[in-house]
Structure 1
């Protein structure tokens, strides 16, 4: 590795910069996908558990873009020790952020589970009162092909289900084929019987898994970059001054006296 970093230092830095930009673009894509997914369902649960990590990804992608430019600049100005140190410090900060985020995501995964279930339970009880909640519930049930929190019978326990005209029925968004008043038919073939909680939690868990995997994979790439930068800095420090004096062209060696009289 030392030979690679010393002999092809510029090439290594350029390749790292390209890898950083590639990961930054991937993080932006993943973030946009997350916001697009949770946007219509933001009234269902505390979306901070996804928007928080997504926001961190945006910050990291910006830092990675900057680090990529510094890497390119460092490869052009190979003798600049200051640029190498700046590149190393920024990489180290990003690696620490990624490791911290991955650890927090793993530690607090049970809280995410509880928050989603609690949020959905509160939202289903507000279905008849708030238009935003109603739109979110209908969108989720139509998109995820589910009904209720744990199953379709949850609706009969809600304030919406207690209204006389809603007795023994579910919202039309629970229907496999959406038509007006289709929720009055609770036959197995007509509505979705599975609840939305498990499906939503599985989706959120999958997004978090992608975030953690991306952070770990990229941290490994960055560690390689840190090692290469360290080797190059150490090589510059050792090779900064030569213990030998270079003779000029005009310098001529003194004749060697062999002890004979002139």
Structure 2
């Protein structure tokens, strides 16, 4: 009798593991809720929630999708991890650890494939940017994303300013009635430090001029090349961020598995 009592007391759930996992997941869950809320709010502002068929009308990538998908996954996993840790529910803990492990595996696979097929990735990035150049005026979030990228990386188009011929408003076709014909968005313009207010018309007619004249007013390098250069210059920081995310995922999986083992040990002594 005393021996059996000793085994029951010997198996117990570690409070440190339990509440560390709960704290880890509450942050994960709140971040997911924040991302999801931002995405849904942006959709509501654009009227997508009142007319779901408008999703298919977008010609390019809608950045809001990123918030909704990432936020949704984080919200579900964080919720499962929180409740699983608090209630010591092995099903939810396994769900959390398995899917977090699957995400880690997919990230690792994507990283390896990106290194092996970097030329194909470069072509896909070029195609992605050009498709979104075509849809530049179709969605305000997409427009802001492209403007941010061109300003941040000091670039214009996928390979150069002439990529803006793909957009119906900036096309140099003689039949194009747009005032922006043969121009580029203001985010392609070289910033004048003396100007406090952004001149949104700085790119008008700039592609009617020669290459030497363009260089004075707009960025002439493509965003694909500038992005590659930025990656090379910040390789340690980028790698550090990815390694940090991976370690956090492994930490979460280990905590969940330890808690599952503790709960199983207790049940085994019942």
With the length of structure 1 as denominator, give the TM-score of the two structures. 0.58
Which is higher, the Rg of structure 1 or of structure 2?
1
Pairwise CA distance, 1:68:
0.8
1:170 aligns with 2:183: yes
Aligned to 1:245: none
- d(CA) in 1 for partners of 2:62 and 2:123? 13
Aligned to 1:229: 260
Is the contact between residue 125 and residue 224 of structure 2 (CA under 8 Å) also seen in structure 1?
Answer: yes
Aligned to 1:180: 201
1:101 is aligned, of 106, 114, 132, to 106
Pairwise CA distance, 1:217:
1.7
Cα 1:190/1:169, change in 2 over 3 Å: same
- d(CA) in 2 for partners of 1:195 and 1:44? 21
Pairwise CA distance, 1:230:
0.8
Deviation readout 1:97-118 (Å, 9 max, x if unpaired): 3233323432554565433311
Long gaps (5+) in structure 1: 75-82, 241-262
1:192 aligns with 2:203: no
- d(CA) in 2 for partners of 1:53 and 1:119? 18
Is the contact between residue 183 and residue 191 of structure 1 (CA under 8 Å) also seen in structure 2?
Answer: no
2:91 is aligned, of 86, 90, 93, to 86
- d(CA) in 2 for partners of 1:87 and 1:135? 36
- d(CA) in 2 for partners of 1:151 and 1:102? 31
Deviation readout 1:14-65 (Å, 9 max, x if unpaired): 221111111222345566789999x99x9675569x9479625522422321
- d(CA) in 2 for partners of 1:153 and 1:18? 51
Matches within 5 A, 1:51-90: 51=65, 55=69, 57-74=71-88, 83=89, 85-90=90-95
Superposition RMSD on alpha carbons, in Å?
4.9
1:132 aligns with 2:138: yes
Paired residues, number: 219
Is the contact between residue 165 and residue 182 of structure 2 (CA under 8 Å) also seen in structure 1?
Answer: yes
Deviation readout 1:118-148 (Å, 9 max, x if unpaired): 1333454x47xx8427995686246622322
Deviation readout 1:201-246 (Å, 9 max, x if unpaired): 879x999996785355223222133124314422552x44xxxxxx
Pairwise CA distance, 1:149:
1.9
Aligned to 1:250: none
Deviation readout 1:158-212 (Å, 9 max, x if unpaired): 8712438899953252333525364334442322222234557879x99999678
Aligned to 2:172: 161
- d(CA) in 2 for partners of 1:113 and 1:31? 30
